[in-house]
Structure 1
């Protein structure tokens, strides 16, 4: 089995040093998105991410934990599988400090010692039951779910995806790609998403890709290839301290893998669930965690009437299935 690494990014928005830096660079523009406090709010459940990895994916080779230099006071930086990575360790100094989530991800291939096969987690994505390497890679290729989509206008992120699609349409011919990898794009693993692909097939250009909100599975060589072919575009995005409408996003690397056929079809939604945290979804989230109804959950920060109460309910559910400290904790 090839080595598989996990990569996770994290920020502590309560850190006064970080807050001072954030506010000093804060742009006064309606065309930025990473300035909302909800994008950085600390749910204080990072330790359960590490506990989940150790208990449910003990086969992982290394965990690359990325921050701007912040270290949780409970983190054991000497843990055998931990590689603590600061932004300054791999992002060129002229682009720091950065508060752009895309900049942090676009440059992952620069991390020293990163495996060719790696899985990227946002810090709101958790393992809550056992997963094997085959959930992420098979025959040396990422497991993914290929389907077309049509974009609907909704903020900065949609602009970023449009920019991704411009790169994709300049780099690949849609129908040629379909012919070369027909059975991957029309695999039964796509389930009802096949209808999207079928109905959007007549369009000559890529109108969008179906995006799941679960860990992204990558080949490091994909990053290197895209950087080689589109360095100017990626450097322009890297230079933006906050995410803006001019950026490309990290989804570009995933779309590139799909277009090249560098994936094995798998219905990733079978084992994973996405939730936007709200008063209405809170009970379902808690039950999904406590009864381990899925293997992976993404808990996207949302609007709740009481942040502290919601945080305690979710973390109590994590404590129920992950009560013991991991080797990543002091």
Structure 2
């Protein structure tokens, strides 16, 4: 392992795993806050994991290692003996004292993966590569990219509450002056693009406001993540113990991102330059198919949401991926079963 190595970390759930379904049903039957989020769309598998690996093979062959984190049954086509693949048991990583079904729980522990490189990129299983990228896309001069632009949040959304809780911890550890110094030093430059138009909002607030959630692959420095989590151990442990998402905990990865921004441990990029977010419930499916097949967008997120005609939309998305990445990746068995 060298200082130039970059690992990818992806979290994934196989929602057809019967044991996982049973455990989740038991957990959902326990008294939970009315604001908890145990909805099915949080776990619905679109059968796209093989295309995620195909995209990595084609677009980022330089990746040092891929850590696939799951506490569910693996797909039969996956070659678990691949030299670049490390399958991580999410239950062991979270700790045997918890039985959780919240992505925030596992996200609070990813920095503890054995052998994880200092520089790594975190993917949800709905984050995809769409075009070839170099290491410098994610890291320059040893620093990950960052989009340091304030945002406005509305009450009622679980993600918004997690972002507010996270920014509250940032305010507890950094002064507004410290933060603004990094905005001036790192963000006020042409590379930030049109996001510069929103930087005056930093001055309109007496505190450090939440920043935009980029919601595509997230490059991080392990040492900075460890520092951020060590500063607020109770909040991190609360996230680790959260059975389902609720209004009451932070979003650990988002909090780690804001810590990078507060320290100035980032290089500025515009939101548009790093990728595109699609809500499959709201986006024109034609735009989604074009983004997948044309290979012009570096990264994109295909957020599930409440898709009305799930089988039809899924078939179109799978067909688009199969057109874009028709060849098996090195991570697939030569003669393996097709996706479930």
- With the shorter chain as reference, the TM-score category is over 0.9
Could you tell me which of 270, 278, 296 is aligned with 1:275? 278
Check whether the contact 1:89–1:111 (CA below 8 A) recurs between aligned residues.
no
Worse overlay, 155-164 or 258-267 = 155-164
Aligned to 1:239: 241
Aligned to 2:304: 301
Structure-1 separation of matches of 2:303 and 2:272: 16
Worse overlay, 19-28 or 186-195 = 186-195
Structure-2 separation of matches of 1:268 and 1:200: 17
Q: CA deviation at 1:194?
A: 1.6
Aligned residues: 328
Structure-2 separation of matches of 1:248 and 1:51: 33
Aligned to 2:87: 84
Could you tell me which of 315, 320, 331 is aligned with 1:317? 320
Q: How does 1:98-109 map to 2 (within 5 A)?
A: 98-109=100-111
Q: CA deviation at 1:227?
A: 2.2
The runs of at least 4 aligned residues of structure 1 exceeding 6 Å deviation read: none
Structure-2 separation of matches of 1:280 and 1:157: 20
Check whether the contact 2:13–2:72 (CA below 8 A) recurs between aligned residues.
no
Aligned to 2:171: 169
| Structure 1 residues 326 and 269, CA gap change in structure 2 (3 angstroms) | same
Structure-2 separation of matches of 1:313 and 1:180: 44
Check whether the contact 1:102–1:243 (CA below 8 A) recurs between aligned residues.
yes
Q: CA deviation at 1:280?
A: 4.9
Aligned to 1:94: 97
Worse overlay, 75-84 or 296-305 = 296-305
- Post-superposition CA distance 1:116-136 (Å, at most 9, x none): 100000101111210110110
Worse overlay, 254-263 or 272-281 = 272-281
Q: Which runs of 5+ in 1 are unaligned?
A: none
TM-score by length of 2: 0.92
Aligned to 2:33: 29
Structure 2 residue 261 is matched with structure 1 residue 258: yes
Check whether the contact 1:178–1:185 (CA below 8 A) recurs between aligned residues.
no
Structure-2 separation of matches of 1:233 and 1:175: 24
Could you tell me which of 307, 316, 326 is aligned with 2:329? 326
Check whether the contact 2:100–2:244 (CA below 8 A) recurs between aligned residues.
yes
Check whether the contact 2:5–2:63 (CA below 8 A) recurs between aligned residues.
yes
Structure 2 residue 70 is matched with structure 1 residue 63: no
Worse overlay, 203-212 or 109-118 = 203-212
Structure-2 separation of matches of 1:297 and 1:234: 28
Q: Secondary structure at the match of 1:93?
A: coil
Q: Which runs of 5+ in 2 are unaligned?
A: 334-340
Structure-2 separation of matches of 1:281 and 1:184: 35
Structure-1 separation of matches of 2:61 and 2:316: 27
| Structure 1 residues 245 and 304, CA gap change in structure 2 (3 angstroms) | closer
Q: CA deviation at 1:159?
A: 1.4
Q: Secondary structure at the match of 2:199?
A: helix
Structure-1 separation of matches of 2:309 and 2:231: 47
Aligned to 2:4: 2
- Post-superposition CA distance 1:25-60 (Å, at most 9, x none): 114431212x00011111101100000001110000
Aligned to 2:142: 140
Check whether the contact 1:151–1:207 (CA below 8 A) recurs between aligned residues.
no
Structure-1 separation of matches of 2:127 and 2:242: 25
Check whether the contact 2:148–2:268 (CA below 8 A) recurs between aligned residues.
yes
Aligned to 1:190: 192
